[in-house]
């Protein structure tokens, strides 16, 4: 079974631009969560989608948004990029949703650099 895939793997943008990242979960998984990872900040939760509905949202500004499609693939969008948005963006999939004992399976991440 293929793992979680994320595209693109690397991205360079300039301030003020917007970016869309994509995540394909493990086949059969219905939940996708997104995280931002920066040096010294650990994994910061962005949001969780289950069956096309956002279930949970972290403490990030409205510039960060996401969606999930009927095939469980998910995208996250960051508008009006700032230098501080430079980070590794990770997505993780589960069959169920948070609140269960299920394990998350992480993708390799998209490394975004904002210049």
Partner 1 sequence: DAKTTQPNSMESNEEEPVHLPCNHSTISGTDYIHWYRQLPSQGPEYVIHGLTSNVNNRMASLAIAEDRKSSTLILHRATLRDAAVYYCNHTGTASKLTFGTGTRLQVTL
Return the residues of window 3-22 that contact partner 1 according to CB under 8 A: 4
Q: Which is nearer to partner 1, 43 or 83 (CB)?
A: 43
CA-only gyration radius of the chain, Å: 13
Q: How far apart are CA 25 and CA 1, in angstroms?
A: 11
**Which of 10-18, 37-45, 69-77, 79-87 is the region at the interface with partner 1 (rule: CB under 8 A)?**
37-45
- Candidate list 41, 53, 62, 70; residue touching partner 1; CB under 8 A: 41
- Candidate list 8, 17, 18, 43; residue touching partner 1; CB under 8 A: 43
What is the three-class DSSP state of 83? helix
Query: Least distance from C-beta 16 to partner 1, angstroms?
Result: 29
What is the three-class DSSP state of 74? strand
The encoded tokens of residue 65 equal 């948004």
CA angle 78, 8, 94 (to 5 degrees): 80
Contact letters for partner 1, residues 44-83 (x by CB under 8 A): xx--x-------xxxx------------------------
């Amino acid at each position: 079974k293929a793992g979680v895939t994320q595209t693109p793997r690397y991205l360079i943008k300039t301030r003020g631009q917007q970016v869309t990242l994509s995540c394909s979960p493990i086949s059969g998984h219905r939940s996708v969560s997104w995280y931002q990872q920066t040096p010294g900040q650990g994994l910061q939760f962005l949001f969780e989608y289950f069956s096309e509905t956002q279930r949970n949202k972290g403490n990030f500004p409205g510039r960060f948004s996401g969606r999930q499609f009927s095939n469980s693939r998910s995208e996250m969008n960051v508008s009006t990029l700032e230098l501080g948005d430079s980070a590794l963006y990770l997505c993780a999939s589960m069959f169920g949703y948070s609140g269960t004992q299920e394990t998350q399976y992480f993708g390799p991440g998209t490394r975004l650099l904002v210049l």
